[in-house]
Structure 1
């Protein structure tokens, strides 16, 4: 409201609403008084805007018509909002095919001119007041539906929505509890702006004879009746025309001023054809009886395959780390383990949790045996809900607890992770970054998880808070024997917290080794990663070690070894043949078990 346009709009809206309330009471009787002696008169001291064919004062009729005009615009906007939001939200509760069909319908309706669609809907609904309101409501629905779909698609990719789906929350509940509350503000602001367009649309239909009919009258009907006299007494149309303009501009200015910052993420990409991808030989899934077994895991999006034939295992109570540069496929591997790869991603291979395929687990089992900790706790928590009820949802959905019992369990889990129980009534933005991350861990502990998948849980935290979060994960691992899969790009963190490390590059695992053997890694890429981490012994007079070149994009991975263009040991064999994974490393020319005398680490 600090801008001039917003203040002008607010003033115009205030005047319109005041006239809508008092207009019929003050000028209603004069507006309908029939005076045959003064029909079709121009402006005079007695009738500033002249009279109509019944001798009724045009100024009084214009002021009295404010209530009906605004009320009809409100009804039309309400109809458009209900139809538009419902249509735009349908893809969120339908399957992929249904979502694409509804989206295509929305795009087709948006392409139809608004006035043409309004006239068609008004004729179908029947001429008159009802037809005009329905026509304008139907005509405004496609635009609002498209906005709803765009906003919903952006929210559906948030971590807290993915977590709700992993917990087994139904699509309709996800829509009403997580999606719609977080897009309500821009939708409401858009509806406010559309009130001005509804006023103009209703006046247009009435002007064309498709709207309000006698004895009722709105601003459009007054324009329709006065139009034949416009060249003789032009002042008779000044009142209703000015009223439409003032009210329409007012609502539009207020709505657009409020909605100026309501832009959101684009619509998700469409589906595509999947290409055949050479996977090569993968590491062994792990020892017999492993808690988690991942076999030949491949994730593709159309013709792009960011994860290629990944296999590994995690034993009960073990902490395994996955490291690699950004874009190596670490986080997408974590999402695939949790069954959270977003549409239109396709997952091939198998993920076994305690010997059972992930897809065979019930929603309750998956929601209590597997916990996900995302790197951005602000995105993992719903900003519209308090922290306590978000944690309690796991207890009510999967553990069968009452709301009171689930909330008490949530408070206990928060306190276990070092968050005061009183903070359960706080919203996520009221917590510090470390508290939010501990709250996300507490959410995972609402059940009795056998595996915690932590996807870069300390990326956005300072060193002190980072250590506290890692200590908390270690305490949980030691106290309950919970296994953990720690994804990170920080070699130092992984080497100090994990017993075994998997190194990923361009969607594949290129080396598997104990964390205490990182300094004697055999793959050139692993050695380059370790060498790029500064230590207390690093010579500060020398520039920091870096890896030359850049990792290939998932759509441009070469046929041979993906690291060959950046590797000093590469030969022609490396550029043509994919290295097999043997003895814990996928490399044609691996280093010896220990660096020989005089040989550089990288």
Structure 2
């Protein structure tokens, strides 16, 4: 049984789902058969039975022309339902367009659309409907346009809000990393994940459009004679409500019951629409992708040039008090086959540095650098269209949370295959076969069966291995692993780290490993970058981390790591105080308020990095130990 069908059946077994299904089915069946069974009787004029009350012959009485009111209410179901659904479809489609267009348009044009939608939402929906009804004129067509346009702003705002919330997820960032375009990203990764609230809002909107139509027809702006809907019947019966309430109450009850059916169906749809069928590939020809680099090309980049070169990298965000710079003058290189670890407390700028190097920092964030190159290509000067094939095939991202790294409404195999379809111009079946092969390469058991499963059916370690497999769909020069072993048990951690080491050894792939666990970094990396308050305060070989670390902050991090020789009768070592907020970086050295070696010089001037003969780089006025003496003093990042 497929996942969508099973969820539909599960929803139908609930009391709400059963009631919704029965009510809506009854309304739809009535709309189909009522004009056939009672259409003639509803239109027959009987001058001998004008405005009669309820009787055996006419259960709800007759109107001013002697026509049976019950038959007219039943026959009006079709037109009332079609008009409500039509207006809802118009509002939903227009709302989807207005809500998603800001994600595709340039930034200023997108902000203009959002501003227009926000202004429209400020007006009451009924007022907008009356306004548009006057513009389009009386009649059913004008009423459909009026109510549909009145519904669109609220639906557009909901779509935009939900899209923005999903756009910040790791699986969207992963799709952007592999080079998925904005339109494809929207249709295949964002919209399917917001289907549930949109479906609920659409069905509730259909229920709300029924009384709206009834109101317009009641006022004479909707359906015109000789056609009739529930609103028109309500208007005709209201004049006799003091004599006989049945002609007015019957269409009113019909509106309430049908609206309730739509609302309950919306609740059931929220539980049933968790999985959506993937859209077919577009028939529009795609630009020819850049082929994966071959061995000769890889050898070309093994001549001493770094895979990733970062110099004076800064990331800034606007705030109420001005610009905040959480990454301040970061500089480092990553060479082919090298594993570089990045450690530091939370908020030190580790992940943000990796995101900036991957071109994942979106406006209003600003990324600047004296040099930011990946495989020799300047990332800040090259357009997104030109970078997409390079980053999609040569850069792999492994995020911290393996659950949020995958799109929950796409099977794992299809998500991996998307890389090959988009960049290697493989057919759907060939790309899927390659995805199965990559899952096998990262030691996922039964890869053919697992490829058909969804992310929630994978364990945490298996999801992380599948994420690495996604990166191997191309020919990655660099794997950025952001906390890849967080929340995994030690056995699975070891498996994931061994897998990364195997990929690195077999393909000469560079690895940038970000972690809070300084021991993991020391054992699995060649070099270690220690970050604090948005800067690299020490850069040293991993082999000498426990013996040659000289920065007080690095020494404090190492002292806080317990081992088998730690005295359990003494309190664990901690670093006093807490890191500064990005918008409150103190003058001088940012670590000075927590450093036992700090003096007035430290508090007044930020130290520049000093490079020693061993390649050891430190940014500290009073490093621990004597060292070997500096051979080069370079300013690789300006002062805070």
Task: Report how far residue 146 of structure 1 moved.
Answer: 0.8
The answer (yes or no) to whether the contact 1:186–1:262 under 8 Å persists in 2 is no
Q: Does 1:389 align with 2:408?
A: no
Aligned to 1:546: 574
Task: Report how far residue 7 of structure 1 moved.
Answer: 6.2
Residues 81-101 of structure 1: CA deviation (Å, up to 9, x unaligned): 111111111111112112211
Q: Does 1:336 align with 2:356?
A: yes
Aligned to 2:551: 523
* Whole-angstrom CA distance in 2 between matches of 1:312 and 1:488: 17
The answer (yes or no) to whether the contact 1:192–1:255 under 8 Å persists in 2 is yes
Task: Report how far residue 257 of structure 1 moved.
Answer: 6.5
* Whole-angstrom CA distance in 2 between matches of 1:241 and 1:470: 67
Aligned to 2:621: 588
Question: Per the alignment, do residues 363 and 260 of structure 1 end up closer, same or farther by CA in structure 2, a change over 3 Å counting?
Answer: closer
* Whole-angstrom CA distance in 2 between matches of 1:386 and 1:254: 27
Aligned to 1:63: 74
* Whole-angstrom CA distance in 2 between matches of 1:456 and 1:201: 53
Aligned to 1:136: 147
499-508 vs 391-400, greater mean Cα deviation: 391-400
Q: Does 1:118 align with 2:139?
A: no
Question: Per the alignment, do residues 546 and 261 of structure 1 end up closer, same or farther by CA in structure 2, a change over 3 Å counting?
Answer: farther
Aligned to 2:374: 353
Aligned to 1:368: 393
TM-score, reference length from structure 1:
0.90
* Whole-angstrom CA distance in 1 between matches of 2:419 and 2:549: 42
* Whole-angstrom CA distance in 1 between matches of 2:353 and 2:575: 23
The count of corresponding residues between Structure 1 and Structure 2 is 571
Residues 538-575 of structure 1: CA deviation (Å, up to 9, x unaligned): 11222222112211111111122222222222223322
Residues 258-317 of structure 1: CA deviation (Å, up to 9, x unaligned): 559999xxxxxxxxxxxxxxxxxxxxxxx9622221011101111221111100011221
Give the CA RMSD over aligned residues. 2.2
* Whole-angstrom CA distance in 1 between matches of 2:69 and 2:29: 19
* Whole-angstrom CA distance in 2 between matches of 1:215 and 1:290: 79
Residues 181-230 of structure 1: CA deviation (Å, up to 9, x unaligned): 11112211211111110111111110010111111111001012223333
Task: Report how far residue 111 of structure 1 moved.
Answer: 0.9
Which of 531, 550, 569 is equivalent to 2:597? 569
Question: Per the alignment, do residues 328 and 133 of structure 1 end up closer, same or farther by CA in structure 2, a change over 3 Å counting?
Answer: same
Aligned to 2:229: 218
Write out the 4+ residue segments of structure 1 that deviate beyond 6 Å after TM superposition.
Answer: 1-7, 260-263
1:146-185 aligned within 5 A: 146-185=157-196
Q: Does 1:443 align with 2:470?
A: yes
* Whole-angstrom CA distance in 1 between matches of 2:271 and 2:430: 43
* Whole-angstrom CA distance in 2 between matches of 1:247 and 1:362: 53
Aligned to 1:255: 266
* Whole-angstrom CA distance in 2 between matches of 1:580 and 1:230: 88
306-315 vs 421-430, greater mean Cα deviation: 421-430
Q: Does 1:560 align with 2:588?
A: yes
* Whole-angstrom CA distance in 1 between matches of 2:188 and 2:20: 33
162-171 vs 57-66, greater mean Cα deviation: 162-171
Aligned to 2:428: 403
Task: Report how far residue 3 of structure 1 moved.
Answer: 7.9
Residues 218-247 of structure 1: CA deviation (Å, up to 9, x unaligned): 100101222333334333211111211222
* Whole-angstrom CA distance in 1 between matches of 2:560 and 2:71: 81
68-77 vs 424-433, greater mean Cα deviation: 424-433
Task: Report how far residue 6 of structure 1 moved.
Answer: 6.5
